[in-house]
């Protein structure tokens, strides 16, 4: 008699037929005696349709109003799913983010969850009601509607699972788990039965689209057992079989078996690189450059500062490609003259490719094999960044697929560990 | 420097181009120094699309969830209109019904407004902000989303105007005012420059689609000056001209000129008639029949009880055609045996045609001319109901247009009074 959170992506609720299938799947879990909370996304295409209307009216629409508009996508789905559940004879009740009191900060279009009031949901669960909560949205302390950014429904589901101390959070999606890399690029890519939380965090942050990074952070912070699995299987598949499918995100490295050195290769094309050249190499300079960028709500990813030559250094960082123009403008108007930089260069035709694996901690030579592989394909590395369990490189956009395929082969990822 | 409420129907906000036109119109009023509150409906077709999705999932969808779904239509429009207003350089801010705190009862899909908290809106208006409020929706005391029923945005606008003590509430729609009857049926129908509140109330309740009846009730109760006018004119039309266009709903009969005997002919096809036959004629019988109907949230319109014959009487009433089946079921299961009725008959192929005019008070012979006109066309009258300023008849559905045209001509409504 566990408390289970299900999350369904936009494709999984993309039509009333599919919503009916989700209802059957939830009913199967409910019939097994579990207390069920379900978090659906908007129907596929709906968020884009809504934001498209806004963009017809303004090239720079007010983010507060974008959230008012975009949050309706999930609001429609919770109503429809509740109706489908009731049609199967279950008790069901929908909640918007504001109705739950999913309190967030006020960073419209990319808000962060601060607190979740679980009282109303618990009361409903105690009555045997299936609780359907709109993903992707919350409300700030002033009562404004906020959204959590793309993929935010994953975060909503995991945050709810954490607040409710759920036994497991199942993320149903249109892929059947986490792969060594994207099978559309490398057909030999292999599904992982388990992946550690740390690896998943790196992969999510590095562009693997399976889970939104903040959902993984939440899962790690609150130790929410998380499973990624397919919503495209028969909804009446035996529950025991379904409960073991997909990829489980684990919290401890599996010591009972030989750990693979590398778990996967993540990549993202959505990158842009900016270099501030000829910067005086003095304390506080990084803050003077990145402070205004942060104030403009632009997320910075990789940051690299080269060794100083003659008291001047080059300072590089990457941002999401969609924020490249805005970042350039902030630097031109608020930074360049203030710090007496010589020049600002940029390139929005770059991508990032990363090798991820907790096995790196105990195996040497990963970086050199990676660099040699890229070199043999004639791919120039523009930036390098490493952590304990990953190595990322920024390369020319056009080499992305080639790099991923070559690395997947060089590290033998098509074979099970 | 008046406080003005504008309400725009679904056709007026049916595309981003039209929303842009609404923004221009509002900006024109704002530029003249007025404090502006705007209440848009959902984009035309959107509410039907959303409810259609719900009906694909259930033939009897949960009303609470229908309101969660349907309320998103207006939520999208308030965001889009706010963006369009900001694009013109105005300050603008959207509010859902729940954000305003439009408190209603819990009668989902047909809730009634109990209270409106005007504090936040007033604060915004004081800052020169155009306030955009979602029509059609509110929230009950438990925080559930409610909707006010079809046409409920009119009621939202008038209720807001009342709460804010607005100087005028302008209802922009796809017709340019109130006509003696529907011009699609009678091409000679004439626009009325003014109509009294009482007449408008009768016309709205009798099926004239220009305004929702509850909005007229609110306007009457709180003495909100109300004007119905076209949103299809050039949004940059001189304000003085626009402000005098359409039809003004007045609170006092115009004593300075001869009042027309009849102001208009209203009709509704959306009717069904039910007769409970062979009912014992004793005190309390009407309550025993209509009590359970009311409990089922079915609105009853006309009620007629014939004179008793041999201690038994026939009891007839009309309901909205969409609630005919439900009303029949309530009678069959909860009323028929309890009151020992002989039989229950019904007909959902009827319509109602009504003559409305404050002039009836001082003119005799209206009823006889009406009945003679219908008789000459061979139309049988099934039920009759009268008030001080209207006469309604229920007739066979198929004669509706014929009846309206014949009456319009017989009473000379094509000529100005």
Sign of the alpha-carbon dihedral angle for A278, A281, A282, A284: positive
Helices and strands (H, E) in chain A, number of each type = 15, 20
- State whether A57 and B99 contact (CB < 8 Å): no
Read off the pLDDT of each residue in A235-263 and give the average, rounded to a whole number. 80
Residue A206 zone, left/alpha/beta (φ > 0; ψ -120 to 50; rest): alpha
pLDDT category of residue A154 using cuts at 50, 70 and 90: very high
What are the domain boundaries of chain A?
3-175+210-250, 264-410
- Which pairing describes strands B178-179 and A247-250: parallel, antiparallel, or unpaired? unpaired
Distance CA B207, CA B321 (A): 13
CATH superfamily of B264-410: VC0802-like (3.30.2130.10)
In b/e form, how buried is each residue of A229-243, taking b as 16+ CB within 10 angstroms? bbbebebeeeeeebb
pLDDT for position B394? 93
A335-349 per-position pLDDT tens digit = 998 888 889 999 999
Tell if the CB–CB gap between B54 and A94 is shorter than 8 Å.
Answer: no
- Distance (Å, whole) CA A70 – CA A48: 9
Residue A408 CB neighbours (<10 A): 25
- Who among A20, A64, A94 is closest to B65 (CB)? A94
Partners of residue B355 on adjacent β-strands: B265, B391
pLDDT at residue A203, rounded to an integer: 82
Q: How far apart are CA B35 and CA B13, in angstroms?
A: 21
| Residue B290: half-sphere exposure toward Cβ, Cα within 13 Å | 16
Dump pLDDT digits (tens) for A39-67: 999 999 999 999 999 999 999 999 999 99
CA distance A323 to A347: 12
Q: What is the DSSP letter of A379?
A: P
- Could you give the CA distance from residue A91 to residue A38 in angstroms, rounded to a whole number? 13
The residues near A259 (Cβ < 8 Å, ≥ 6 apart) are A253, A358, A359, A417
Closest CA to A180 of A191, A167, A168: A191
Verify whether the Cβ–Cβ distance A69 to B62 is below 8 Å.
Answer: no
Instruction: Say how far apart CA A274 and CA A285 lie, in whole Å.
Output: 16
- Residues of B contacting chain A (CB within 8 angstroms): 16, 19-20, 50, 53-54, 56-58, 61-62, 64-66, 68-69, 71-72, 75-76, 78-80, 82-84, 86-87, 93-94, 96, 98-99, 143-145
Helices (H) and strands (E) in chain B, counts: 15, 20
pLDDT of the residue at A253: 60
Write down the residue that tokens 């550690």 correspond to: A196
CA separation for the pair A251, A303 (Å, rounded): 28
Contacts of B79 in chain A (CB under 8 A): 54, 65-66, 68-69
Helix (H) or strand (E) holding A409: helix A400-410
CB A200 within 8 A of CB A246: no
- Give the whole-angstrom CA distance, residue B187 versus residue A115: 61
Q: What is d(CA A46, CA A416) in angstroms, rounded to the nearest whole number?
A: 39
Strand partners, A347: A273
Secondary-structure percent of chain B, ordered helix, strand, coil, rounded to 5: 40, 30, 35
Alpha helices in A32-113 (DSSP H): 46-57, 63-70, 72-87, 97-100
Q: Is B375 helix (H, G, I), strand (E, B) or coil?
A: helix
Residue count of chain B, please give it.
417
Residue of A nearest to B14 (CA): A53
> Could you tell me which of A380, A393, A325, A326 has the C-alpha nearest to residue A353?
A393
Over chain B (417 residues), the average pLDDT of each successive run of 10 is: 94 96 98 97 96 96 98 98 98 98 96 95 97 97 93 92 96 89 90 89 74 83 92 92 92 58 88 91 84 90 80 89 94 90 92 89 82 92 87 93 95 82
Compute the distance between CA of residue A161 and CA of residue A143 in angstroms, rounded to an integer. Answer: 23
Distance CA A185, CA A207 (A): 14
pLDDT-derived band at A313 (thresholds 50, 70, 90) equals confident
For the entire predicted model, the pTM comes to: 0.79
Say which residue, A328 or A314, is predicted with more confidence.
Answer: A328
Whether residues A76 and B50 touch (CB distance < 8 A) is answered with: yes
Distance CA B120, CA A148 (A): 25
β-bridge pairing B145-147 and B137-139: antiparallel
Contacts with B240 (C-beta within 8 Å, 6 or more apart), sequence order: none
Which residues of A fall within a CB distance of 8 Å from B61? 83, 86
**Locus of tokens 């590290």:** A411
For domain B3-175+210-250, the question of CATH label 3.40.1160.10 is answered with yes
Task: For chain A, give the mean pLDDT.
Answer: 91
Residues A79-119: tens digit of each pLDDT: 999 999 999 999 999 999 999 999 999 999 999 999 999 99
Answer yes or no: is pLDDT of A254 > 60: no
pLDDT tens for each residue of A216-227: 888 888 899 999
Contact A68 B20 (CB under 8 A): no
pLDDT for position B7 = 97
Q: Which residue has the higher pLDDT, B326 or A306?
A: B326
Residue reference for tokens 């080639």:
A402
Model confidence at A385, in pLDDT bands (50, 70, 90)? Answer: confident
Taking one residue from A and the other from B, the number of pairs with CB-CB distance under 8 angstroms is: 107
Look at A54 and B96 and tell me if their CB atoms are within 8 Å.
Answer: no
How far A45 CA sits from the closest chain B CA (Å)? 15
Q: Are the beta carbons of B84 and A58 separated by less than 8 Å?
A: yes
- C-beta atoms of A53 and B78 within 8 A: no
């Amino acid at each position: 008699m566990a408390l289970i959170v299900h999350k369904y992506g936009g494709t999984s609720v993309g039509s009333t037929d599919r919503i009916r299938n989700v209802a059957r799947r939830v009913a199967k879990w409910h019939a097994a005696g579990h207390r069920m909370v379900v978090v659906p996304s908007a129907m596929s295409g709906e968020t884009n349709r809504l934001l498209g209307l806004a963009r017809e009216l303004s090239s720079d629409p007010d983010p507060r109003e974008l959230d008012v508009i975009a949050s309706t996508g999930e609001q429609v789905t919770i109503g429809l799913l509740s109706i489908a559940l009731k049609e199967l004879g279950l008790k069901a009740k929908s909640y918007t983010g504001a109705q739950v009191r999913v309190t967030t900060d006020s960073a419209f279009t990319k808000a962060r969850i601060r607190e979740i009031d679980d009282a109303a949901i618990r009361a409903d669960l105690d009555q045997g009601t299936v609780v359907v909560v709109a993903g992707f949205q919350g409300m700030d302390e002033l009562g404004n509607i906020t959204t959590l950014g793309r993929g935010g429904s994953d975060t909503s589901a995991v945050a709810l699972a954490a607040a409710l101390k759920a036994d497991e959070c199942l993320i149903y999606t249109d892929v059947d788990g986490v792969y060594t890399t994207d099978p559309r690029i490398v057909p030999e890519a292999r599904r992982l039965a388990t992946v550690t939380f740390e690896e998943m965090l790196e992969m999510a942050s590095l562009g693997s689209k399976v889970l939104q990074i903040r959902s993984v952070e939440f899962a790690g912070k609150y130790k929410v057992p998380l499973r990624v699995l397919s919503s495209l299987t028969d909804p009446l598949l035996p529950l025991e079989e379904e409960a073991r499918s997909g990829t489980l995100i684990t919290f401890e490295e599996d010591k009972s078996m030989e750990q693979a050195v590398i778990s996967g290769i993540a990549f993202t094309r959505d990158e842009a690189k900016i270099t501030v050249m000829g910067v005086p190499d003095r304390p506080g300079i990084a803050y003077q450059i990145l402070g205004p960028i942060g104030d403009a709500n632009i997320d910075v990813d990789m940051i690299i500062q080269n060794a100083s030559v003659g008291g001047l250094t080059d300072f590089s960082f990457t941002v999401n490609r969609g924020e490249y123009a805005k970042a350039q403008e902030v630097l031109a108007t608020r930074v360049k003259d203030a710090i007496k930089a010589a020049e600002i260069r940029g390139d929005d035709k770059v991508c990032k490719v990363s090798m991820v694996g907790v096995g790196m901690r105990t195996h040497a030579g990963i970086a050199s094999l990676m660099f040699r592989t890229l070199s043999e394909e004639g791919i120039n590395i523009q930036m390098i960044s490493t952590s304990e369990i990953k190595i990322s490189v920024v390369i020319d956009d056009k080499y992305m697929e080639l790099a991923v395929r070559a690395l997947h082969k060089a590290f033998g990822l098509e074979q099970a560990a």
